[in-house]
């Protein structure tokens, strides 16, 4: 039995919980991370309690001073967290009350149920802002790598088979687009996180005349048009964590995108591709094979995706069977939330740092992109321009490819007679002297100028757009 009964048990209980119960139920070992937001919430709540006459001016001043002092001590690592006080809320309140008698009034019309709902909303709100900054950093790293290698062409792949040529920048910008949608999702989620639950009490609000708007305003729960955002149902406010799940889901998609990027990086640094080289400081070695230089950042980025998915599923499962309203199960949300936020934030930052320290092997890219088979589709387009329907054109070029394979010649070395030899005998010859011109990579890239295509002009336009947007 702990000597001192925790704040939540005074009165009703004869003593503290059994030691193993305290150990099983405590959350201070992880929810201490909410301290800053817990104090912010208490400061706003106290200001409001003064406004409605619950706290005298002197009491408010004493409480605010006490909380600010505790803030300083926690920030300096001097605060002693006590497991017997269960969680961050009671640790801070108990310490305050020991120093400031008026602290005993702070919990007026407040429950840990609306307090924790507030704290996690404030925490997620800050986390989204920070994560958006990291994502922008990764986008900038991708754009920079594209800009530094604006003339580099590589094979684009489908089925991991060489398909058609693309600018490396086009490939990189594909990720910039994905990341932008991740930002939009996070920002959208932010609008539902940014709603103040304080004043919901344990489940049913309070009989005291709280000024919820004032608290919300002080804590910045205001939308883009300046309207104060308050939860509209106390039962919903203390029991749902959908905003957290939205964050976890947006983070999971972000992790998917980063994982795909990581996979590309891992392929590209392999000797088989050899498209890029990562600076030593951003790679690791092997304990056995002296020649090894491994892309561990990218591998871990890919690997960590699993726990981000797991956290999302955990949170969904945590919520699905809960009867209204608050249930202690909800305490299990925090470690999943923290782990998701920590994981995606670090992963995003490290991937950006790695890309900022990556060089492109232009010669290897040029060699791979010079494969004329990449332009077989352009040859079919050539026949379409000459009036052949696409299906037969596709068939004819297929036969051209087969002939090239049979004769052991690259596509662009076939003679005009050989090309014409595979055309169906219709009286019209579609292949002309200019046919082999399609294998000029430079001209081929200049032709791809549809919006969103990897053409020379289009890609530099997109690079410029992103540079501007991200600056
Ligand atoms: N540690 C709890 C949580 O994370 C705080 C709320 C506890 N409320 C209660 N009535 N026991 O959810």
Residues 206-223: pLDDT tens digits? Answer: 999 999 999 999 999 999
Any idea which residues carry the catalytic annotation? 159, 286
pLDDT digits (tens, 9 = 90+) for 447-468: 999 999 999 999 999 999 999 9
Does residue 425 surpass a pLDDT of 90? no
Residues with CB under 6 A from ligand 1: 27, 31, 87, 112-113, 116, 328, 330-331, 334
Between the CA of residue 209 and those of 56, 117, 212, 398, what are the distances in Å?
Answer: 16, 21, 9, 79
pLDDT in tens, 125-155: 999 999 999 999 999 999 999 999 999 999 9
Overall average pLDDT of the 422-440 stretch: 92
Report the 3 state secondary structure along 79-105: CCCCHHHCCHHHHHHHHHHHHCHHHHH
330 Cα to the center of ligand 1, angstroms: 7
Atom of ligand 1 nearest to the CA of 8: 11
Residue 117 has pLDDT above 80, yes or no: yes
Distance 237 CA to ligand 1 centre (A): 14
pLDDT of 9 over the 80 cut: no
The ligand 1 atom at the shortest distance from the C-alpha of residue 202 is 10
pLDDT confidence band for 6 (50 / 70 / 90)? low
Would you tell me the crossing angle of helices 112-148 and 35-51 to the nearest 10 degrees?
Answer: 130
Lowest mean pLDDT among 113-122, 423-432, 436-445: 423-432
* Residue 35 reports pLDDT greater than 50: yes
Mutate to test the pocket of ligand 1, among 10, 81, 113 (most ligand atoms within 8 A of CB): 113
What residue's CA is closest to ligand 1, atom 7?
112
Using the mean position of ligand 1's atoms as its centre, give its distance from the Cα of residue 112 in Å.
6
pLDDT at 415 over 70: yes
Ligand 1 atom, smallest distance to 87 CA: 1
User: Rounded to the nearest whole angstrom, what is the distance from the C-alpha of residue 14 to the centroid of ligand 1?
Assistant: 21
On average, the pLDDT of the chain sits at 96
Pocket test of ligand 1: the residue of 197, 238, 240, 330 to mutate, having most ligand atoms within 8 Å of its CB, is 330
Three-state DSSP class for residue 415: coil
- pLDDT score for 428: 87
- What confidence score (pLDDT) does residue 7 get? 62
Tell me how far apart the alpha carbons of residues 259 and 343 are, in angstroms, rounded to a whole number: 12
Site to probe by mutation for ligand 1, drawn from 21, 33, 87 as the one with most ligand atoms within 8 Å of Cβ, is 87
pLDDT band at 15 (very low <50, low <70, confident <90, very high): confident
> Which residue's C-alpha comes closest to atom 2 of ligand 1?
331
Q: Rounded to the nearest whole angstrom, what is the distance from the C-alpha of residue 86 to the centroid of ligand 1?
A: 9
Query: Is the pLDDT at 387 greater than 90, yes or no?
Result: yes
Q: For residue 3, is pLDDT > 60?
A: no
CA Rg value for the chain: 31
Counting atoms of ligand 1 from 1, which one is nearest the CA of 89? 5
| Strand, helix or coil for residue 133 | helix
Check residue 289 and give its pLDDT.
Answer: 86
Predicted pLDDT of residue 1: 36
Asked if residue 371 lies in contact with residue 162, where contact means CB atoms within 8 angstroms, the answer is yes
**Which of 10, 37, 116 to mutate to test ligand 1, by most ligand atoms within 8 A of the CB atom?**
116
Q: Which atom number of ligand 1 is nearest to the Cα of residue 330? A: 12
* Smallest CA separation from ligand 1 atom 4, residue: 331
Helices (H), 321-389: 333-356, 362-369, 376-385
Confidence at residue 12, expressed as pLDDT on a 0 to 100 scale: 82
Distance 197 CA to ligand 1 centre (A): 15
Token couple for 389: 């329907």
CA of 323 to the centre of ligand 1 (A): 16
Which domains occur in the chain, in start order? 19-108 (1.10.275.10), 113-367 (1.20.200.10), 372-470 (1.10.40.30)
**Residue 236: pLDDT above 80?**
yes
What is the bridge-based pairing of β-strands 358-360 and 161-167? unpaired
Ligand 1 center to 328 CA (angstroms) = 6
- For 245-272, the pLDDT digits (tens) are 999 999 999 999 999 999 999 999 999 9
- pLDDT, one tens digit per residue, over 58-115 is 999 999 999 999 999 999 999 999 999 999 999 999 999 999 999 999 999 999 999 9
pLDDT digits (tens, 9 = 90+) for 290-340: 888 899 999 999 999 999 999 999 999 999 999 999 999 999 999 999 999
């Amino acid at each position: 039995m702990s000597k001192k009964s925790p704040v939540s048990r005074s009165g009703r209980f004869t003593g503290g919980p059994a030691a193993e119960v305290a150990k099983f139920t405590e959350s201070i070992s992880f929810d201490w991370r909410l301290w800053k937001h817990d104090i912010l919430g208490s400061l706003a709540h106290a200001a409001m309690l003064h406004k409605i006459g619950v706290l005298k001016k002197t009491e408010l001043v004493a409480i605010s001073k006490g909380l600010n002092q505790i803030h300083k001590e926690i920030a300096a690592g001097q605060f002693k967290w006590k497991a017997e006080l269960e969680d961050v809320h009671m640790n801070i309140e108990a310490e305050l009350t020991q120093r400031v008698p008026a602290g005993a009034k702070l919990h007026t019309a407040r429950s840990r149920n609306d307090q924790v709902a507030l704290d996690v909303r404030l925490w997620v709100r800050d986390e989204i802002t920070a994560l958006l900054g990291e994502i922008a950093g990764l986008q900038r790293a991708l754009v920079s790598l594209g800009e530094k290698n604006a003339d580099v062409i590589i094979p684009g792949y489908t089925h991991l088979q060489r398909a058609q040529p693309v600018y490396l920048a086009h490939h990189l910008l594909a990720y910039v687009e994905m990341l932008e949608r991740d930002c939009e999702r996070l920002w959208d989620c932010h609008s539902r996180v940014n709603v103040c639950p304080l004043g919901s009490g344990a489940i049913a609000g309070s009989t005291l005349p709280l000024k919820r708007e004032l608290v919300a305003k002080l804590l910045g729960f205001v939308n883009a048009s300046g309207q104060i955002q308050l939860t509209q149902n106390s039962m919903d406010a203390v029991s749902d964590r959908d905003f957290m799940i939205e964050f976890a889901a947006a983070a999971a998609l972000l992790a998917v995108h980063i994982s795909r990027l990581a996979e590309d990086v891992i392929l590209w640094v392999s000797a088989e591709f050899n498209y890029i080289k990562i600076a030593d400081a951003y790679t690791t070695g092997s304990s056995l094979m002296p020649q090894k230089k491994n892309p561990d950042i990218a591998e871990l980025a890919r690997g960590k995706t699993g726990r981000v998915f797991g956290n999302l599923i955990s949170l969904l499962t945590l919520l699905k069977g809960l009867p209204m309203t608050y249930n202690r199960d909800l305490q299990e949300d925090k470690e999943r939330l923290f782990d998701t936020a920590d994981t995606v934030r670090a992963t995003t930052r490290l991937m950006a740092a790695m890309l900022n320290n990556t060089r492109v092997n232009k010669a290897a890219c040029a060699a791979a992109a010079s494969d004329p088979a990449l332009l077989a589709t352009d040859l079919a387009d050539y026949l379409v321009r000459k009036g052949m329907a696409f299906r037969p054109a596709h068939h004819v070029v297929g036969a051209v490819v087969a002939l090239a394979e049979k004769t052991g010649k690259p596509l662009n070395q076939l003679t005009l007679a050989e090309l014409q030899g595979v055309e169906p005998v219709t009286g019209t010859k579609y292949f002309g002297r200019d046919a082999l011109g399609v294998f000029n990579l430079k001209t081929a890239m200049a032709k791809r100028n549809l919006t969103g295509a990897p053409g020379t002009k289009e890609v530099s336009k997109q690079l410029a757009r992103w540079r501007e947007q991200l600056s």
